[in-house]
Structure 1
């Protein structure tokens, strides 16, 4: 998993068999299941049901049934249980973290033959996705998954709070020093009690690791070898610097709450005005757009200016352009209220 992405559609053991043997005019449709998690805010479960309904209408020879399977880890556990029971799902939406492990265990199969049968090469097939997403799907030059539900951490800002604190919502923080300084001005206290946090970020499993990875890359490093997954860099200066920065927001600057913060609690605090900024997935953008009663802005991770950051920018703008009827003219820091 890169900080750019979180999910991939992984081929289950039944995928190729289900589609390969289905006759063009079968009397009864081939029935398959799709397991999927919902790890972010919003209406992804309802959207998934709508997508499957559309698929079934366009492919009458196949009847796909979506099965909500909880978190990433719960989805992995339920998928493996279904495999042991001899009833594997045809496909699974799962954290790309599991891709290599599933391949090693022989629990997924290559999509190469299906791609070839569709008249494409692997390179041509993967060419429709941003290059930064290829690591979620390709191992040893073979395709094992389809990038899907891809997301990246995004900075959300309450524009009214910025104005109230004497900050310019048209000039959002571009580095960690500016981010911490803004958070200090935005934090409100009544005596020893904090009534509004300057910034919040989710730290629950495995959201927290994803945010920390983004901060590490913003600090010019990686926390694992992208070419060899067995090598990790948890004690590197860039990793320790990122962890120190996050820790300082809590203990030194006192602008971020202590303890484990769940993603849902972070978005709730932002929407209720109890947090002025938050680092959260682009997957929560529609949820914020639908429920925010105030003007807000979004920006990329403060301090990031590298190739991976450029890939994130393209991904975020791609997401935003799909809401062009609401967003209008887009730019970094564009008004979202």
Structure 2
């Protein structure tokens, strides 16, 4: 069956009255980052199957991160063994769509009427648009925030209730907290990956590429300022050169004053802290208060199924996962901000939750600053992320000066981009 024929068949099925499928359909679903998502994924699947007895949702072994998840699905697709539905990092949807693997969801949404009435705003729909189609629906969105150990701030003579808004203030506070000694560090910025790099870069008003996508956009003053912050956090602020989860563990153990990371970590942070210390959250500092923006992290569901019945079942599950009910489960269990506009406005879903949980409001308050997580064109997106991380690591580990690392990073990324 051709892709167009399969799509038309699926749309026709959705146009018919909502009758139970003739026999149970099992769909296989893939996602990444189980440390963040596992509990909410299980809850959403259980609630969906309780309401839809004609569909069985089975999860494949999750990938440890978005990059590994993309590479896994692309390899499986070569052999025709891709899952029916995959949840990919928002910056990886483009690569899936450009390979003609993603089902265009636009006709399916149109069959249900006004997408806005379903809670899908144009801005949120744009997060799943790529290669000229509606390649996915955003499932979880995040932005970077500051996790603050209020006890360490008070020990250093600082006020945790006064958010720091500039990087100079952050570095000075980090220096004072590090001076407490005994293995205490003032700050930890989780630098691995292009998302946290873009958080700094976009905050300075920078871009990953120029608007025409003809050349690298981070090689200028904004990119230099971005690496400069990381360099100063290490040299002046005493930031440790920990990798990945080691930074989160050090923060949870009460040895880090400020932890810069995604809102997605919030529920995990609250659960892991116990009575270790008092936690608060701040808005993410922006180097340029006027031009600065923040990248939208998170994931989108992409339907890869080829069989019409499984396409329909996968779409139904994705719609539930991104509905007000699914969004409420996801937000409460993680810290991501809502992907469905109806969820935040309804007290039965999240309205009352935010009033009772002020730590979760920090990310919501930053939503007007959110812009898409940039996706590099061409087939080398994952390799580009590694190049960026490797060169940032050289700066953090004090193995290369800022200008050298920036020039190398720009040159290496340029070589991996498609040629005109």
TM category, shorter:
0.7 to 0.9
Change in 2 beyond 3 A, CA 1:38/1:230 = farther
Change in 2 beyond 3 A, CA 1:178/1:316 = farther
Listed one character per residue, the Cα deviations across residues 58-83 of structure 1 (whole Å, up to 9, x for unaligned) are 12222221223212122222222332
How far apart are the structure 2 equivalents of 1:75 and 1:36?
Answer: 7
Cross-structure match for 2:27: 32
Q: State yes or no: 1:197 paired with 2:189.
A: no
Cross-structure match for 1:128: 120
Cross-structure match for 2:70: 76
The number of residue pairs the alignment matches comes to 304
Q: How does 1:55-74 map to 2 (within 5 A)?
A: 55-70=48-63, 71-74=65-68
- What is the root-mean-square deviation in Å for CA atoms of aligned residues? 3.3
Change in 2 beyond 3 A, CA 1:57/1:19 = farther
Change in 2 beyond 3 A, CA 1:87/1:261 = closer
Q: How does 1:133-144 map to 2 (within 5 A)?
A: 133-139=124-130, 142-144=133-135
Normalised TM-score (structure 1): 0.78
Of Structure 1 and Structure 2, the greater helix share is in: 2
Shift of 1:327: 2.1
Of the three residues 216, 224, 227, the one matched with 2:209 is: 224
Shift of 1:224: 2.7
Shift of 1:200: 0.3
2:60 is paired with a residue whose SS is strand
1:37 is paired with a residue whose SS is coil
Normalised TM-score (structure 2): 0.64
Contact kept in structure 1, 2:204 and 2:225, CA below 8 Å: yes
Of the three residues 53, 72, 78, the one matched with 2:46 is: 53
Of the three residues 245, 252, 257, the one matched with 1:276 is: 257
Change in 2 beyond 3 A, CA 1:87/1:20 = farther
Listed one character per residue, the Cα deviations across residues 228-280 of structure 1 (whole Å, up to 9, x for unaligned) are 45543121211111111111111x3042113x521x21111111111111101
Q: How does 1:179-258 map to 2 (within 5 A)?
A: 179-188=170-179, 190=181, 195-204=183-192, 206=193, 209-225=194-210, 228-229=212-213, 231-250=215-234, 252-258=235-241
Q: State yes or no: 1:261 paired with 2:255.
A: no
Shift of 1:324: 3.5
Cross-structure match for 1:3: none
How far apart are the structure 2 equivalents of 1:215 and 1:229?
Answer: 20
Q: How does 1:171-186 map to 2 (within 5 A)?
A: 171-186=162-177
- Is there any run of 5+ residues in structure 2 with no aligned partner, and where? 1-5, 297-334, 339-343, 345-349, 364-420
Deviates more, 1:20-29 or 1:324-333: 324-333
Q: How does 1:289-304 map to 2 (within 5 A)?
A: 289-292=270-273, 293=275, 294-303=277-286
- Is there any run of 5+ residues in structure 1 with no aligned partner, and where? 1-13
Listed one character per residue, the Cα deviations across residues 167-187 of structure 1 (whole Å, up to 9, x for unaligned) are 111112111111111111111
